[in-house]
A and B are shown apart, each in its own frame.
Chain A
C-alpha cells in the first residue's frame, strides 16, 4: 500500500465540502482509503497512524489530504486531484484576481454590515465546528439576533452562559445540538415541508419534532412554529431555559392555538417546571416526554401523550375542537397500545400491512409473559438514523414485552456492550457520536445504515429489521439508493418494517419512498410507534416461517 499526503495551507472548508472531496478521492481507481480533513491535532495524529511519514507541518486552518492506494500512480493522481479540488475555490479573505463582484463576508460583523436596516437578518443559524460555535453564537446575540446552534460538542458551561445572555436580551438560543426548526414558516437545518397552521411545537428532540410535525401534516393540521431547543436543554445544568422561553413565546403568539412539547426523558425537576409553565399559557398543551408519565404530574390544560404520533393526533383534535369543548379531552391510554386512527390517512395501509389484523393488546400481553421463542429467526434489529425515533421504538417495544439492548438505551432497555456481538433484540442509534465521528450523519448519507441492514438481512437469527427513513431539508437526496437493492435482491429472510418520516411536499416526497419500499417487499407503517408495534407483531407472528 502506498500512502501519500499533502496540505492545502490556510484553506478552511466546512465538513460537507471536505466529505465531498473525500468521497471523490475514495472512488478513484486504485484508492483504498482517502481522508480529507482540517489538520487538527487529532486528525494529524490519525494521519501519522495511517502511515503518513515525515513532518506534518499543518495546523487547524489547513486541510490535510491523505490517500492510501495500491500504486504510486494512483496515490499521486488522487492526491493531486484532492488538492486541486480544494484550491479550485477562491479564499474569500484574500480575494481573487480581477474579481469584480463583492467578496464574501468572512465573519458575522461583515455579513451584518451588508444587510442594513429592514433587510437585517433576525436569526443566526450556526453550524461551525463545535469548539468555535459558542463564540459565533455570542457575536450573533450581541448583534441582537436569535440563535440556532446546529453544532454539537459545545461545552455545557458555554450553553448555560449563552442561554442566560439570550434570555437577558429577549433572544432565543436554540441548541447547541439543535437539528431542526421552522420559524415563521422558514425551515432551518433538518426540517420537513409541512403546512402552516395552529400548532406550535417546542422540544429538545430533533427527529421527535419532525415526527410530530409530519404526523400533524398528514392529519391536515399545520404548524405555526417548530422550535428545537437542543439535546441538553432539559438537563439539570441548563434547566430547560430555552424550552421555557419558547413556551412563553408560543403562549403569546396569536397564531398558535395549541402547543406540543416534545422531549426524550428530561430531568424530573426540570420536567415539572416545564409542565408548570405549560399549564400557565392559557392554551392547551400536549406533552410527550418519552418515558415520563406526564399525566401523573401535569397540571390542568396539559395533556400527556405516550408516543409522538399520539401527541400529533391529540394536538390535531385540540386544534380542530371549538375552544369550549377542549376541557372535555382526557389523555388517552398512556403506555398502552396505540390504535390506528379510524379514517386516518394511513389506516388502510396499516391494515394491509398487518394482513387484515389489528395489533391487539392481547398479542402483546401474550408475548410479554413469554411464550419462549426458540425458532432460529427470533431477534429484532432496529437500525435508526433518528435518535428520538429509536428511543421511542424502544419504549413501544418494551410496552409490548420486547426488551432490547441499545447503544442509547431508553429506560427498561439494556446498554449494548461495546465490542459485544449482536445477540438478542437490539436497537442501534446510528446517529450517535460513535458512528458520526468523521462520517456524515446517516440522515445525510445512509451508507452506514445500509451496511448494518445488509448484515442484518444476512443474519440467520434475525426475524425483523426495523428502520426509519427521515426525509426533509438537509436529509439525503436519494435515501433508498443503497437500501432498495438490498431489499429487492433477497428471496427470503427477515421481515423489514419501515417508518418513513416525511411529507409528500418534502424534497424527496414521502409517497414515492413508501411506494418504492412496498414494491421491494418492506412493510411500511404510518408512524414510528406503529412501526415498532408492527415489528413486535411480526416477531410474534405464528405464520412466520422459521
Chain B
C-alpha cells in the first residue's frame, strides 16, 4: 500500500516538507460558511480567507453541483478563451450611414417589417413606449394615415416586428428601426461583418420613448433626408482615407479617460467624434446651411455617440458568438417587459426573465409608479464591459443615477468578479488603469450571485412622455439560471 497506491499523496508530502504538512506556514484557511470558525484559526496565528457564502445557482443544490463541475470544465475554459480572443480581436470601424432598407436585408425589398429592442415579443404584449414607437414608425413609413390604422396593422400582423438583435442591429430604448431610417454601419475589420444602429434623435419627444407626434416624425424625416445623406457623404471621404473609415475603439478608449462610460454619458465621445469627422464633413460638399443644421443637431445632443458605442459593442460581441460550450454572454437586451440574454455556446436562443423596474433618480413630478420596466438594447455596452461595468471612469454619471463616485468604483470592481477575461483596449483610470471586463461568464454570475449592473435611462410607462429619470439596475438572475441549465442540463432532463 504505502508509497505505490497513492503517488499524488506522496508528492504532496514531498512538497509540503518545505513548510507545514498542509501548506505554507502560517496555515491559510478558506472559511466557507460559519464565520464564527475564523476566530480560532486567527487566534492560533492562521490566516483566514473569508467567503460570505450564500446559496449559489439560484439556491438549487442540484444546479449548484452542476455549476461546481462546470467551473472546472476544461472544454468550457478553452471555449471561453476562444470567444474572448475573438471579442478582443474584433475591430469596429465606422464605414457608412445608409438606409436600413439597404443595410439590413430583412428590411429591404419593400417588406413591411420593423425592428425593436430586446427579445422577441408580440405587439399586444409590448410596453407603452415600444407600441408608441412602432406606431410612429408605421406612420413615418406612410403605411398608415393615422395612429389607429397603424395600430391595427401592427395588431393584425400586417406589419411584422422582430428584434434588432436578429439582424445584427441595436437600438436604444424602444429601439425601433424602419426601412427608410438612416443607420450607422460599423464594420468589424477582423471578420468583415457589418453591425448597425439607428442615429440618436436627441432628448425630449422622441420615437425611442414612444412619442409619435408631428414633431417626432418631422425630425425623423429630416434625419432621413438631410442628416443621413450628409453623414454618408462625409463617411465616403473618411472611408477613402488611410484607415478606411473611422476606428471606434480608440474613441471609446479615450472617452473612458475623459469621464464617459459610453452608455449613459457620451459627452466626451460625442466631442471626439465631431472632431474626427469635421474635416470630411466640411469637405463633403453639403450646403453650408445643411452643415449648420447638422452641426446644431449633433452639438445639441450629448448622447449622439451612444448609438455608435452600441453598434461598436455589438460588432465586438458578434465576433464571440457561436463558440460551442462557451458560457460567455453575447447579448443582454430588454423589451420593456422581458429581459433577455444570449450566450455564445447556446446559439441564438434567448433566456428571459421579467425586466426589472429601475431604481434611480426621477425628474421632478415623476416617480417609480410612472416608470416602464427596463427597456432597450443599450445594455449591449455592459455586455461588452462598458456602461455600468466601466462606471468608475464616469464619476459624473454616478450622481445622475443616484450614487456616489465611491459607488461607481465599487460597481466596476464588483463587475470584475464576473468577467472571463480583461480588455486591455479599454482601461479605467480610477482603478489604476485596470482593463475592463472582457466577456461576462454565466457560471461566475451563478457562483457569487453578482449580477451585471446596468446604467440606464428610465422611460415613462405611457407612450411618448419620454425619459423621466435615470438609474442603475441589474440583469435578473433568472436569465442566467435558464442559460446555465441549457448549457449544463440536469441529468434526466
A→B interface (CB under 8 Å): 12, 14-16, 59-61, 92-93, 95, 97-100, 102-115, 118-129, 131-132, 134-136, 138-140, 142, 145-146, 150-151, 158, 167-172, 183-189, 191, 225, 244-245, 248-249, 251-255, 276-277, 280-281, 473-474
Contact = CB atoms under 8 A, between A and B. Distances in A.
A146 B29 CA distance: 10
Contact of A186 (B6, B46, B404, B417): B46
A524 B28 CA distance: 38
Nearest to A128: B33
19 contacts: A15-B34, A100-B410, A103-B413, A106-B51, A107-B444, A123-B22, A123-B27, A124-B30, A125-B32, A132-B56, A142-B68, A142-B72, A151-B33, A170-B12, A184-B23, A186-B46, A251-B2, A277-B1, A473-B43
Contact of A60 (B21, B32, B59, B449): B59
Given A95-B410, A126-B32, A131 B61 contact: yes
B53 interface: yes
A115 B28 contact: yes
Given A60-B55, A119-B47, A135-B65, A111 B30 contact: yes
Contacts of B451: 93
Contacts of A126: 32-33
B463 to A, nearest CB: 32
Interface string B1-13: 1100010111111
Contact of A95 (B35, B36, B44, B414): B414
B280 interface: no
B64 interface: yes
A99 B406 contact: yes
A129 B407 contact: no
Point out which of B25, B33, B36 has the most chain A C-beta atoms below 10 A from its C-beta: B33
A139 B25 CA distance: 23
B9 A245 contact: yes
A118 B24 contact: yes
Contacts of B68: 134-136, 138-139, 142
User: B2, B40, B411 — which one has the most chain A CB atoms within 10 A of its CB?
Assistant: B40
Interface residues of B, number: 70
Contacts of A113: 417
B400 to A, nearest CB: 16
A123 B46 CA distance: 11
A124 B34 contact: no
Contact of B40 (A60, A100, A191, A253): A191
Given A112-B49, A249-B9, A128 B32 contact: yes
A236 B44 CA distance: 36
Contacts of A104: 50-52
A142 B55 CA distance: 19
B243 interface: no
B82 interface: no
A183 B65 contact: no
Contacts of A111: 30, 49-51
A132 B61 contact: yes
Interface string B400-423: 000110110011011001000000
Q: Which 9 residue pairs of A and B lie closest in terms of their CB atoms, listed nearest first?
A: A122-B23, A127-B33, A170-B8, A184-B20, A121-B28, A473-B40, A131-B61, A170-B12, A107-B448
A219 B46 CA distance: 26
Given A93-B448, A170-B12, A103 B29 contact: no
B67 interface: yes
B448 A276 contact: no
Contacts of A93: 54, 448-451
B447 interface: yes
Given A14-B35, A16-B34, A128-B53, A121 B47 contact: yes
B37 interface: yes
Contacts of A99: 406, 410
A14 B448 CA distance: 16
A187 B447 contact: no
B41 interface: yes
Given A140-B32, A142-B71, A183-B22, A170 B11 contact: yes
Contact of B28 (A106, A122, A191, A249): A122
B280 to A, nearest CB: 45
B299 interface: no
Contact of A109 (B52, B54, B444): B444
Contacts of B450: 93, 106
A253 B20 CA distance: 10
A107 B53 CA distance: 6
B289 interface: no
B37 A189 contact: yes
A418 to B, nearest CB: 29
B204 interface: no
A158 B176 CA distance: 51
A145 B40 contact: no
A253 B55 contact: no
A108 B31 CA distance: 9
Given A95-B411, A184-B22, A108 B51 contact: yes
Nearest to B66: A135
Nearest to A146: B22
A183 B413 contact: no
Contacts of B61: 131-132, 135
B8 A168 contact: yes
B288 interface: no
A60 B39 CA distance: 28
A252 B6 CA distance: 13
